[in-house]
Amino acid sequence: MQGACQTILECVGEDPEREGLVKTPSRWAKALLFMTKGYCQTAEEVTNGAIFSEDHDEMVVVKNISISSLCEHHMVPFTGRVHIGYIPNGKVIGLSKLARIAEVFARRLQVQERLTSQIADAIVDAVDPLGVAVLIECSHMCMVMRGVEKVGTSTATSSVRGCFQKDPKSRAEFFSIVHGGAPTMC
């Protein structure tokens, strides 16, 4: 990887022996391995058994999970927030584990659409809920720094499973909670 980075530096017209760049190939290799560490992890590993029997059948939502990933088309970052909701079916998962599941898949070369589905599917596999909803909102540097160069744009993707797919009220409640509303209490 370090040799590849030296070649890239030369190809863009830089001198890899320049003081500020001498250690760049090593730093770049370490950074890229960190940013793609999701290939060495599974959702099952990061949940680490934090799945519990619980008689709770109302929606659980964790909002604003920050993520960073690399676009597989340009290998530049996209960053944003993941919102996850699920309705348990006899089992709940530790709340921090939802963030860890998101991180496993974000730390791979990605497209946002696939990332959204992978998170939803992993939660289905982990706790077999009545339904799962995932919404991701991100800014893509491939749209900001190159190509169309549109600062301030964001992309939203959603993936729903089970009752969120079949029941418009559950789906609407999830999106209401994510966008600042709260469930209506009687």
Is the domain of 175 the same as that of 90? Answer: yes
Residue 44 is assigned to a structural domain of this protein: no
**Domain ranges, residue 9:** 1-36
Structural domains counted in the chain: 2
* Within a domain: 108: yes
Which tens digits make up the pLDDT trace of 81-121?
999 999 999 999 999 999 999 999 999 999 999 999 999 99
16 and 70 both lie in a single domain:
no
Considering the domain architecture, whether residues 10 and 77 belong to the same structural domain is answered as: no
Specify whether 153 is located in the same domain as 79: yes
pLDDT grade, residue 139 (50/70/90)?
very high
pLDDT of 184 > 60? The answer is: no
Specify the amino acid at residue 23. Answer: K
**Would 115 be classed as within a structural domain?**
yes
35 vs 98: CA distance, rounded Å: 19
Is 186 inside a domain boundary?
no
Same domain, 32 and 53: no
SS3 category, 137: strand
pLDDT exceeds cutoff 80 at 182: no
Q: How confident is the model at residue 186 (pLDDT cuts 50, 70, 90)?
A: very low
CB count, 10 Å around CB of 22?
A: 11
Q: Tell me what the mean pLDDT of segment 142-171 comes to.
A: 93
Fill in the DSSP letter of residue 185: P
72 with 26, same domain: the answer is no
pLDDT band at 125 (very low <50, low <70, confident <90, very high): very high
**Does residue 31 sit in the same domain as residue 59?**
no
Convert the pLDDT of each residue in 77-86 to its tens digit: 999 999 999 9
Q: What is the pTM of this model?
A: 0.93
Residues 27 and 65 occupy one common structural domain: no
H helix intervals, the chain: 2-11, 24-35, 43-47, 95-106, 112-127, 141-144, 163-166, 168-178
Q: Tell me if 90 is assigned to some domain.
A: yes
- Do 92 and 132 fall into the same domain? yes
Determine the Cα–Cα distance for residues 5 and 26; give it in Å rounded to an integer.
9
The answer to whether position 74 is within a domain reads yes
Angle in degrees, 0-180, between the axes of helices 24-35 and 2-11, rounded to the nearest 10:
110
**Do 80 and 112 belong to one domain?**
yes
> What is the CATH number for 152?
3.30.1130.10
The owner of tokens 């890229």 is 32
Same domain flag for 108 and 26: no
Same domain as 77, residue 25: no
